[in-house]
Amino acid sequence: MTLKTPFSLSGKIAVITGFGAPKDALSNGGAIARLFAKQGAVIEGLDISAEDAQNTVEAIIKAGGQAFFTSGDATVEADIDSWIKSVLQRHGRIDILINNVGQSERLTPEDADTNIWRAQLALNLDSAFFARGLFCRL
């Protein structure tokens, strides 16, 4: 079965947080990055794992796409700021933002504590808030 290209992202600059994936595996961010690259977008990813990010970049390049990554923590506003500046230096603009990082701890209520709660808020909310804020100021 051949998947038709429903639309073109040719030349669009797509930035994706949490886009890395383990070798021979797929993550949500990695899948989004690969699909957007297949549609013609240039991918700029941010991931806390340089190894996982490099795996995604290599898969995209092997398939004929363009991808770059910055190693950084999406819960740290300075990391996102630095990443955005490097993307703008490289491409001059950003067309698409995908706030992809997030997770949930599988704990019983009695096992959860304040540190886990704060970490989940940072990962699931702060990261999106920081990226949104920086992009709105572009």
Q: What is the pLDDT of residues 59-68, one digit of tens each?
A: 999 999 999 9
CATH of residue 97's domain is 3.40.50.720
Ordered alpha helix ranges (H), 12-106: 28-38, 50-62, 77-91
| Band (105; pLDDT cuts 50, 70, 90) | confident
Domain containing 104 equals 13-136
Q: Is residue 7 part of a domain?
A: no
pLDDT tens-digit series, residues 109-130: 888 888 888 888 888 888 888 8
Q: Is residue 1 part of a domain?
A: no
Q: Is residue 2 part of a domain?
A: no
**pTM of the entire structure?**
0.86
Q: Is residue 78 part of a domain?
A: yes
C-alpha of 15 from chain center? 6
Q: Is residue 124 part of a domain?
A: yes
Domain count, the chain: 1
The more confident residue out of 55 and 110 is 55
Q: Is residue 130 part of a domain?
A: yes
Q: Is residue 68 part of a domain?
A: yes
